[in-house]
Amino acid sequence: METFNPFSLKGKTILITGASSGIGRAMAISCSKMGGTIIISGRNKGRLDETLSLMEGNGHIVLPADLTKETELTNMVSRLPKLDGIIHCAGVGSRVFCKEISIKDFENVMRPNFEAPVLLQSEILRQKKLNKASSIVFIASRAADSPSIGNAMYSASKGAIISYAKCLGLELAIRQIRVNCICPAMVWTNLIIQDGFSKAEMEEAQKKYPLKRYGQPEDIANLAIYLLSDASSWMTGSCVDITGGGEGTLV
């Protein structure tokens, strides 16, 4: 008799963007261990292949694409099978003072962090690639509600995706499709070292968190598994903070 597991992803096909490193890579690996068939996307095929080599199970698909380019985005969606879950994880960090923000900063930050996932989601819906009762997860950030110096563009991009996700959840509820956001505080990835902060400073700063550490990508992946699984079938329109007890994004 098979053991009951409400968090199983067996039989589910899940798209994960930004899967070439960091949180996205951890999610791809963890979701594969839970039995899902995973489609991983990112700009760098070599790094996606590295992710694939760390995943368990068979049938996973690598679809390289630069989602800020309309043609690549559309072509990628056309190659997708029907999906039961999506994790919008692709994005970039940014640190620029408000008085120095330029048009280029909007393009460099808002395009990958907000425009690309919104247009990707629209194209997926347009091409009818999403099954009924699916789950959509956006990786946002505590930065949306926790201001820090030089973080205005990044914070704004994450705040925008949260607002969008809440509206999307209302529109898709009629099909029992759930839409939720994960809002991590600091997580040890390649994005964590921003201009002006050394690794040593970050290691010291993490001790101010109640749990005395920043998150690991696997911590976020485990929460994503819950949101993708049937265990969260009555959960939509939520933003879940995962912070190690810290209120800010840089404590």
- Diameter over CA atoms, the chain: 63
220 dihedral zone (left: phi>0; alpha: psi -120 to 50; beta): alpha
Q: How far apart are the first and last CA of the chain?
A: 48
Residue with structure tokens 């039995």? 35
Contacts made by residues 200-209, CB under 8 angstroms, sequence distance 24+:
205/250, 205/251, 206/251, 208/246, 208/251, 209/185, 209/243, 209/244, 209/245, 209/246, 209/251
Euclidean distance between CA atoms 20 and 175, whole angstroms: 31
Q: How far is CA 156 from CA 27, 117, 178, in A?
A: 24, 15, 24
- Residue 181 sits at the vertex; the CA angle it makes with 178 and 186, to the nearest 5 degrees, is 155
Nearest residue to 144 via CA among 153, 136, 135:
153
Euclidean distance between CA atoms 67 and 72, whole angstroms: 6
SS3 177: coil
Among the listed residues 154, 164, 209, 214, the single catalytic one is 154
* 154 tagged catalytic: yes
Contact between 31 and 23 under an 8 Å Cβ cutoff? The reply is no
Enumerate the active-site residues. Answer: 154
